[in-house]
Amino acid sequence: MRTNQPQTIYLSEYKVPAYLVDQVDLRFELFEDGARVHSTLTVRRNPDSGESAAPLFLHGDSLQLESVALNGSPLRTGEFEDRGDALVVPSVPEKFELQVVTWIEPQNNTRLEGLYKSSGMFCTQCEAEGFRCITFYPDRPDVMARFRTRIEADKSAYPVLLSNGNPVDNGELENGRHFVTWEDPFPKPAYLFALVAGDLVEKKDTFTTCSGRNIDLRMYVEPRNAKKCDFAMDALKRSMRWDEDVYGREYDLDIFMIVAVDDFNMGAMENKGLNIFNSSCVLASQETATDAAFQRIEAIVAHEYFHNWSGNRVTCRDWFQLSLKEGFTVFRDSQFSADMGSPTVKRIEDATLLRTAQFAEDAGPMAHPVRPASYMEISNFYTLTIYEKGAEVVRMIHNLLGDEMFRKGSDLYFQRHDGQAVTTDDFVRAMEDASGRDLGQFRLWYEQAGTPVVSVSDEYDESSGIYRLTVRQSIPDTPGQTGKKPQHIPFALGLLGADGQPLPLKLSGESGEAPLERVLELSQAEHCFEFEGLSERPVPSLLRDFSAPVRVHYPWTREQLLFLMSHDPDGFNRWDAGQRLAVDVIQSLVGAPESAGVEPRLVDAYRSLLQDSELDQALMAKMLQLPSEAYLIELAEQADVAAIHQAREKVLGYLAEGLRDELMACYRRNVGQGDYQLTPEAIARRSLRNTALGWLLHIGDQEALALAKEQFRGADNMTDRLGALRALVNSDFAEDRTQALEAFYKRFSDDPQVVELWFSVQASSDRAGQLPQIRQLLDHPAFDWKNPNKVRSVVGAFAAQNLAAFHNPDGSGYEFLAEQVCRLDDSNPQIAARLVAPLTRWRKFAPGYSKQMKSALERIRDKAELSRDVYEVVHKSLA
Ligand code: PHE
Ligand code: ZN
Kind plus residue range of the DSSP H or E element containing 377 = none
DSSP one-letter code for 7? P
Q: Is 823 helix (H, G, I), strand (E, B) or coil?
A: helix
Q: What is the pLDDT of residues 726-744, one digit of tens each?
A: 999 999 999 999 999 999 9
Of 79, 78, 83, the closest CA to residue 96 belongs to: 79
Top mutation candidate among 113, 124, 127, 308 for ligand 1, by most atoms within 8 Å of CB = 127
Identify the residue whose C-alpha is closest to ligand 1 atom 3: 269
As a whole number of angstroms, the distance between CA 696 and CA 707 comes to 10
Q: What is the pLDDT of residues 255-288, one digit of tens each?
A: 999 999 999 999 999 999 999 999 999 999 999 9
Confidence of residue 5 (pLDDT cuts 50, 70, 90): confident
Which numbered atom of ligand 1 lies nearest the CA of 387? 4
Give the active site residue among 304, 388, 629, 756: 304
Longest dimension (CA), the chain: 95
CA distances from residue 661 to 582, 665, 695, 723 in whole angstroms, order as listed: 21, 6, 12, 20
Which numbered atom of ligand 1 lies nearest the CA of 311? 1
Q: Are 313 and 419 in contact (CB under 8 A)?
A: yes
CA distances from residue 359 to 267, 806, 841 in whole angstroms, order as listed: 22, 21, 12
Find the 587 Cα to ligand 2 centroid distance in Å.
37
Q: What is the pLDDT of residues 535-580, one digit of tens each?
A: 999 999 999 999 999 999 999 999 999 999 999 999 999 999 999 9
Question: Ligand nearest 191 Cα, by number?
Answer: 1
Confidence of residue 406 (pLDDT cuts 50, 70, 90): very high
Rounded to a whole number of angstroms, the CA Rg of the chain reads 28
Distance of CA 538 to the CA centre of its chain: 38
Q: Is the pLDDT of residue 851 over 50?
A: yes
Whether this model's pTM surpasses 0.95: yes
As a whole number of angstroms, the distance between CA 409 and CA 429 comes to 9
ipTM of the complex: 0.99
Strands 81-82 and 86-89: antiparallel
As a whole number of angstroms, the distance between CA 403 and CA 118 comes to 43
Vertex 209: Cα angle to 205 and 212 (nearest 5): 110
As a whole number of angstroms, the distance between CA 183 and CA 111 comes to 28
Which numbered atom of ligand 1 lies nearest the CA of 326? 4
> Measuring from each residue's beta carbon to the nearest atom of ligand 1, which residues come in under 6 Å?
125, 127-128, 266, 268-270, 303-304, 326, 382
Identify the residue whose C-alpha is closest to ligand 1 atom 2: 269
DSSP one-letter code for 673? -
Identify the residue whose C-alpha is closest to ligand 1 atom 7: 127
DSSP one-letter code for 356? I
As a whole number of angstroms, the distance between CA 490 and CA 517 comes to 13
Q: What is the rounded average pLDDT of the residues 586-593?
A: 97
Confidence of residue 3 (pLDDT cuts 50, 70, 90): very low
Top mutation candidate among 382, 388, 828 for ligand 1, by most atoms within 8 Å of CB = 382
As a whole number of angstroms, the distance between CA 312 and CA 858 comes to 40
Which of the residue ranges 90-94, 672-676, 844-848 would you say has the lowest mean pLDDT?
672-676
pLDDT at residue 672, rounded to an integer: 77
Domains by residue range for the chain, with CATH: 24-279 (2.60.40.1730), 314-446 (1.10.390.10), 453-555 (2.60.40.1840), 556-735 (1.25.50.10)
The secondary structure of 278-345, three-state, reads: EHHHCCCCCCCCCHHHHHHHHHHHHHHHHCCCECCCEEECCHHHHHHHHHHHHHHHHHHHHHHCCHHH
Q: What is the pLDDT of residues 175-189, one digit of tens each?
A: 999 999 999 999 999
Amino acid at 451: T
Question: Ligand nearest 266 Cα, by number?
Answer: 1
Q: Beta partners for 184? A: 147
pLDDT at residue 4, rounded to an integer: 59
Q: What is the pLDDT of residues 748-773, one digit of tens each?
A: 999 999 999 999 999 999 999 999 99
As a whole number of angstroms, the distance between CA 522 and CA 468 comes to 15
As a whole number of angstroms, the distance between CA 835 and CA 818 comes to 9
DSSP one-letter code for 226? G
Identify the residue whose C-alpha is closest to ligand 1 atom 5: 269
Identify the residue whose C-alpha is closest to ligand 1 atom 1: 269
Beta-sheet strand order (sheet of 121-125) = 114-118, 121-125, 195-198, 160-163
Q: Is the pLDDT of residue 1 over 50?
A: no
Find the 756 Cα to ligand 1 centroid distance in Å.
21
Q: Are 115 and 133 in contact (CB under 8 A)?
A: yes
Which numbered atom of ligand 1 lies nearest the CA of 130? 11
Q: What is the rounded average pLDDT of the residues 621-642?
A: 98
**Mean pLDDT across the chain:** 97
Find the 149 Cα to ligand 2 centroid distance in Å.
24
Strands 56-59 and 86-89: antiparallel
Vertex 224: Cα angle to 218 and 230 (nearest 5): 40
Identify the residue whose C-alpha is closest to ligand 1 atom 12: 269
CA distances from residue 857 to 798, 838, 843, 844 in whole angstroms, order as listed: 17, 10, 12, 14
Q: What is the pLDDT of residues 48-72, one digit of tens each?
A: 998 888 999 999 999 999 999 999 9
CA dihedral 105, 109, 113, 117 (to 10 degrees): 80
Distance of CA 264 to the CA centre of its chain: 15
Which numbered atom of ligand 1 lies nearest the CA of 379? 9
Identify the residue whose C-alpha is closest to ligand 1 atom 11: 127
Q: What is the rounded average pLDDT of the residues 781-806?
A: 98
Q: Is the pLDDT of residue 703 over 90?
A: yes
CA distances from residue 56 to 23, 53, 75, 86, 133 in whole angstroms, order as listed: 16, 9, 13, 10, 18
As a whole number of angstroms, the distance between CA 571 and CA 546 comes to 11
Find the 570 Cα to ligand 1 centroid distance in Å.
34
Q: What is the pLDDT of residues 460-482, one digit of tens each?
A: 999 999 999 999 999 999 999 99
DSSP 108-168: G--S--EEEEETTEEEEE-TTTTGGGTS-B--STT--EEEEEEEEEETTT--EEEESSEEE
pLDDT at residue 53, rounded to an integer: 87
Vertex 772: Cα angle to 771 and 775 (nearest 5): 85
Vertex 219: Cα angle to 218 and 221 (nearest 5): 150
Q: Is the pLDDT of residue 2 over 80?
A: no
Q: Are 453 and 473 in contact (CB under 8 A)?
A: yes
As a whole number of angstroms, the distance between CA 765 and CA 801 comes to 8
Find the 703 Cα to ligand 1 centroid distance in Å.
46
- Answer yes or no: 13 catalytic: no
As a whole number of angstroms, the distance between CA 187 and CA 147 comes to 7
